[in-house]
Structure formats: structure tokens, C-alpha cells
Amino acid sequence: MSAGTDELFGVDEAVHAEVMAEAERIKALGEAAEREARDPVNQPTINNWLEAMGYDDPRWKAGEAPPSMAQVWTMYGLGGKPPADDPLHGMMRVLTDAGFTAVLGTNCEQEYVRTLRVGEQVRVTTALESVVGPKRTGMGVGYFVTSRNTWYVGDEVVATMLFRVLKFVPRSKETTA
């Protein structure tokens, strides 16, 4: 059953069908874009992060990393580029090519299974969890894209994060006036 024009908020049915087909293709890849942290968990990075965040709990100066640092270890770094098979960036390209050029982070849900210890080597995978839309928002019409990152030490899951963004066509100045 095809979505009616009202349900698509002005998005062409063929564009919507292509966006959703690509979303299903990317979701079928499952966990992809695996990358290893460039450095093992280490005390100097923990110390810098603690200082930046204003934390001074002695626990984090004794060989454990704060759980909320999970993402720090696998960030791309200055000038880093995501791998070609990265599901989130792949879906973002699909939407950009379809005319949804603006992006807004909407929310992030993290689960920490355990703290990381100095010396552990972390790796992360990314999967496309869902693409929902189109939806009309105060920012414009777009799709909500949710990815799931999973951090591992060896085969053990140590943290997960659902990251949701709105990829949208900005409202024109005429419609916001």
C-alpha cells in the first residue's frame, strides 16, 4: 500500500520509496564499519578528559575509565574519515542525495555494561537501527535516522549507543516568516 501525499508531507513517492529501499539495504548489513581504537585505554587520555569535564573522582585515576568515555577511544580524530561501509554515513549520503541536506542531532541513548580498564583495546561497530519518515517538524520535513554503535573489548560488549538525527529539508524563509 503506497503512502498518500498527505502522509509524505510533499516528498515525492519515488524518492520516499528509494530512501526506504536503501534504508533496508543498509540495515541488512548489520554491524559494519568495524574499527579499532587507535590507542589502548590509557591514563593520560583519561586525565585529560577528567580535566575537560571537571571531574575529580579518584576512582578514575586508578586504572579505570569513566563509562561515558566509551566513544572517546574510537573517535575518528581530527580530519578522520568514516569507512566506506559506515551505515550511518551511508544513510546520510542517501538522504543528502535525495535533497535532505540539513542535519540536527536529536538524542543519544547510552548503555554502559562495564567500565574500561587501562590497557584494554576497544573496537566499535555501527549498524543502522531505523529510518522513520518523512515527518514534518519545526525545522522542516525529514527522516529520523537511528544508528547503533556497539563497543567491544575482545568479543565482550562493554557499551552501546543509539544515536538519532533528523535529516531534513530546511523550511524556507517564506514559510518561517
Q: Cell triple for residue 167?
A: 535529516
Q: Are 33 and 126 in contact (CB under 8 A)?
A: yes
- Kindly report, residue by residue over 50-102, the tens digit of the pLDDT: 999 999 999 999 999 999 999 999 998 888 888 889 999 999 999 999 999 99
Q: Is 55 exposed, middle or buried (0-12, 13-18, 19+ CB in 10 A)?
A: middle
Residue 28, beta-bridge partner list: none
- The domains found in the chain, sorted by start residue, are 5-176 (3.10.129.10)
Which of these, 115, 119, 96, lies nearest to 170 by C-alpha position?
96
- Cα 157-163-164 angle, rounded to 5 deg: 150
Q: How many CA atoms lie within 13 A of 31 on its CB side?
A: 12
**pLDDT over 90 for what percent of the chain?**
85
Q: How far apart are CA 154 and CA 120, in angstroms?
A: 9
